[in-house]
């Protein structure tokens, strides 16, 4: 018998070249927009021009979002939205600007210290957000999560709320054409980790797994391009849809211990988020394989791979130079493992990973 499940995904999704201009009536959701971007990608990708050409209402631009956004940045953005009287938010960029915009939309209606959102939640519904991704990785355009850097705790942490789901997501894969091969690969592996972790999550069910399976198949077709570091339009389109499918999956399942383990590599060593997951990925899959060999086998089949060794080789091919350059002090690993094993993501993982098991995954990945 099937276990109980539920499914809720309130974001309207439009896919296709030109969708920002073509779908204007769907995404101009108020009379004044706060447009939230990173420093340069919104312009470089062409997305900002498309938004400005078609918005037709008043707007302010907040272009201060850094990679791995801080609490201070979202506080500043929230203030900007309140002071300018914005009634909707347009987010353009990779996961960093998208995530920041989602919290800014909460702070626009709730004048609070952003750190308190984690412990106290918020009362007033966030402003509606229109999300326009320029990377194909985080799936943030269809999730209710935002990941912020918490300096006090020296880590990154996810914040979630149903009203943080963007109202509209506009997916135009041509915006990813200005990405470097490195960022394309890093972000693609983030998408892969959402698809695979979602599929291997304790909250996997019939509906969300079907999203993950379709996403893994599309991702698998992109493997030759990722290996060759050459991306044509078809591949860019498939990576973008696979990434959105990954976001839709983790919106239901959340992520697992792999994401929790990647955060210290990003926080302490500046490793981009997807790459951090990629470096730990094969050892994580081998760990899950001990308890759920069939499910891991299904992941490999969906990706078009035949063995865990082949998967490990793929991650090595994508990241070998980066991994070689990474020097992690062995002595920090017990503390990192303790912390990752204590997260909700770990509790959502097959095998109920203990601190010891998590430390072993770190060791196998980082000390080889
Ligand atoms: P990112 O941090 O948003 O961007 C990485 C770099 O790529 C930035 O320098 C950015 O420039 C540049 N860039 C973005 N799009 C570009 C384009 N089209 N052309 C040229 N350069 C471009 O990277 P990301 O991997 O997309 O997002 C990572 C963040 O998302 C992390 O904080 C991660 O924790 C979070 N995340 C969130 C979720 C979720 O569910 N909400 C899931 C996974 C990860 P600019 O600085 O100019 O923008
Ligand atoms: Fe992620």
What does the domain layout of the chain look like in residue ranges? 12-175, 180-366
Indicate the pairing of strand 168-171 with strand 12-15. Answer: parallel
Nearest CA to ligand 1 atom 11: 41
Q: Once rounded to an integer, what is the mean pLDDT over residues 78-90? A: 98
- The DSSP letter of residue 67 is S
CATH entry, 12-175, from 3.40.50.1970, 3.50.50.60, 1.10.8.640, 3.30.70.380: 3.40.50.1970
pLDDT over 90 (residue 280) = yes
Q: Is 278 in the pocket of ligand 1 (CB under 6 A)?
A: no
| Two tokens, residue 49 | 């021009």
* Shortest-distance ligand to the CA of residue 250: 1
Q: Each residue of 303-346: pLDDT tens digit?
A: 999 999 999 999 999 998 888 889 999 999 999 999 999 999 99
Q: Each residue of 11-35: pLDDT tens digit?
A: 999 999 999 999 999 999 999 999 9
d(CA 199, CA 91): 28
Q: Which pLDDT does position 320 carry in this prediction?
A: 85
d(CA 86, CA 33): 5
Q: Each residue of 236-272: pLDDT tens digit?
A: 999 999 999 999 999 999 999 999 999 999 999 999 9
Q: Is 244 in the pocket of ligand 1 (CB under 6 A)?
A: no
CATH T-level fold of 180-366:
Dehydroquinate synthase-like, alpha domain (1.20.1090)
Asked if residue 183 lies in contact with residue 243, where contact means CB atoms within 8 angstroms, the answer is no
* Shortest-distance ligand to the CA of residue 254: 1
pLDDT over 80 (residue 212) = yes
Measured from the Cα of 148, ligand 1's closest atom is: 32
Q: Each residue of 102-144: pLDDT tens digit?
A: 999 999 999 999 999 999 999 999 999 999 999 999 999 999 9
**Which residues have a beta carbon within 5 Å of ligand 2, which is an ion?**
190
Mean pLDDT, the chain, integer: 97
Nearest CA to ligand 1 atom 13: 41
| Two tokens, residue 7 | 């499914």
Q: Which pLDDT does position 321 carry in this prediction?
A: 85
Q: Which pLDDT does position 41 carry in this prediction?
A: 96
Q: Which pLDDT does position 3 carry in this prediction?
A: 80
pLDDT over 80 (residue 223) = yes
Nearest to 190 by CA among 276, 317, 254: 276
Q: Each residue of 25-63: pLDDT tens digit?
A: 999 999 999 999 999 999 999 999 999 999 999 999 999
pLDDT over 90 (residue 7) = yes
Q: Which pLDDT does position 2 carry in this prediction?
A: 76
């Amino acid at each position: 018998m099937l276990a109980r499940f539920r499914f809720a995904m309130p974001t309207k999704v439009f896919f296709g070249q030109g969708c920002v201009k073509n779908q204007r009536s769907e995404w101009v959701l108020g009379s004044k927009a706060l447009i939230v971007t990173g420093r340069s990608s919104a312009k470089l990708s062409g997305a900002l021009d498309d938004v400005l050409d078609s918005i037709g209402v008043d707007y302010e631009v907040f272009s201060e979002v850094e990679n791995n956004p801080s609490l201070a940045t979202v506080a500043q953005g929230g203030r900007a939205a309140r002071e300018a009287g914005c009634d909707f938010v347009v987010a353009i960029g990779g996961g960093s600007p998208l995530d920041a915009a989602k919290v800014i939309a909460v702070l626009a209606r709730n004048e609070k210290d952003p750190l308190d959102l984690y412990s106290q939640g918020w009362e007033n519904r966030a402003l509606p957000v229109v999300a326009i991704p320029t990377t194909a990785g985080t799936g943030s355009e269809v999730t209710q999560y935002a990941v912020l850097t918490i300096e006090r705790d020296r880590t990154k942490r996810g914040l979630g709320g149903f009203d943080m789901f963007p109202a509209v997501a506009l997916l135009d894969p041509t915006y990813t054409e200005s990405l470097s091969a490195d960022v394309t690969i890093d972000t693609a592996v983030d998408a892969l980790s959402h698809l695979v972790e979602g599929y291997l999550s304790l909250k996997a069910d019939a509906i969300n797994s079907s999203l993950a399976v379709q996403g893994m198949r599309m991702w698998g077709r992109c493997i030759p391009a990722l290996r060759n570091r050459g991306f044509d339009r078809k591949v860019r389109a498939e990576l973008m849809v696979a990434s959105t499918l990954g976001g839709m999956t983790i919106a239901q399942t959340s992520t697992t211990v792999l994401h929790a383990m990647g955060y210290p590599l990003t926080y302490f060593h500046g490793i981009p988020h997807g790459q951090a997951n990629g470096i730990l990925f094969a050892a994580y899959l081998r760990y899950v394989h001990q308890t759920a060999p069939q499910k891991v086998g299904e992941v490999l089949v969906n990706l078009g791979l035949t063995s865990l060794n082949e998967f490990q080789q793929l991650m090595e091919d994508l990241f070998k130079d980066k991994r070689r350059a990474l020097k992690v002090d062995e002595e920090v690993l017990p503390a990192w493992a303790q912390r990752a094993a204590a997260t909700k993501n770990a509790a959502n993982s097959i095998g109920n990973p203990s601190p010891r098991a998590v430390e072993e995954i770190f060791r196998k990945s980082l000390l080889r």
